[in-house]
């Protein structure tokens, strides 16, 4: 897994990159009550606002960590947004992307680097 300074995680699965938020981010948000996901086949640029999360504390936007195309979304989050709090690094992934250059992932933090970053 790779991690961003915006508290997102990225995991390569075959030819796709799976994106979600970290446990730290989920804890900071509090109880998540709503998640709005992008449409599949949406092309995004790095930094585009792509997911809206609402919790009892605040609303937050999740930005696209890399340029690519959304190929799949996690419909389970629409039905059960609390998954973000229950399993942020597993079942609560947001979307899968197809990216042109997997080498861009080398620019993100490792798990140890992320732990130092939030420490």
Q: Could you give the number of structural domains in the chain?
A: 1
Residue 115 has pLDDT above 90, yes or no: yes
Q: Is residue 81, in this structure, part of any structural domain at all?
A: yes
pTM exceeds cut of 0.85: yes
Secondary structure of 46-100 as H, E, C letters:
CCCEEEEEEECCCEEEEECCCCEEEEEECCHHHHCCCHHHHCCCCCCCCEEEECC
pLDDT tens sequence across 18-71: 999 999 999 999 999 999 999 999 999 999 999 999 999 889 999 999 999 999
- The pLDDT, as a whole number, for residue 53 is 96
64-107 pLDDT, tens digit per residue, is: 999 999 999 999 999 999 999 999 999 999 999 999 888 899 99
Residue 52 belongs to some domain of the structure: yes
**Residue 101: predicted pLDDT:** 86
User: Count of H helices and E strands in the chain?
Assistant: 4, 9
Q: Is residue 43 part of a domain?
A: yes
Q: Which helix (H) or strand (E) holds 108?
A: none
Given a contact cutoff of 8 angstroms between Cβ atoms, the answer to whether 25 and 3 are in contact is no
**pLDDT of the residue at 102:** 85
Task: Tell me if 82 is assigned to some domain.
Answer: yes
The CATH number covering residue 46 comes to 2.40.50.100
Rg, the chain, Cα only: 13
* Per-residue pLDDT at 100: 86
Domain interval for residue 19: 2-101
User: Does a structural domain hold residue 114?
Assistant: no
Classify residue 76: in a domain, yes or no.
Answer: yes
């Amino acid at each position: 897994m790779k991690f961003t300074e915006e508290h997102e995680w990225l995991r390569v699965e075959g030819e796709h990159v799976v994106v979600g938020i970290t446990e730290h981010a989920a804890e900071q948000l509090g109880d998540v009550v709503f998640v709005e996901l992008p449409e599949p086949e949406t092309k995004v640029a790095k930094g585009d606002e792509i997911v809206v999360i609402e919790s009892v504390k605040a609303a937050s936007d999740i930005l696209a960590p890399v340029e690519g195309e959304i190929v799949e979304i996690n419909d389970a989050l629409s039905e059960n947004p609390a998954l973000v709090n229950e399993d942020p690094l597993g079942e609560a992934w947001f979307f899968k992307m197809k990216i042109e250059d997997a080498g861009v992932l080398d620019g993100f933090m490792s798990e140890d680097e992320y732990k130092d970053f939030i420490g």
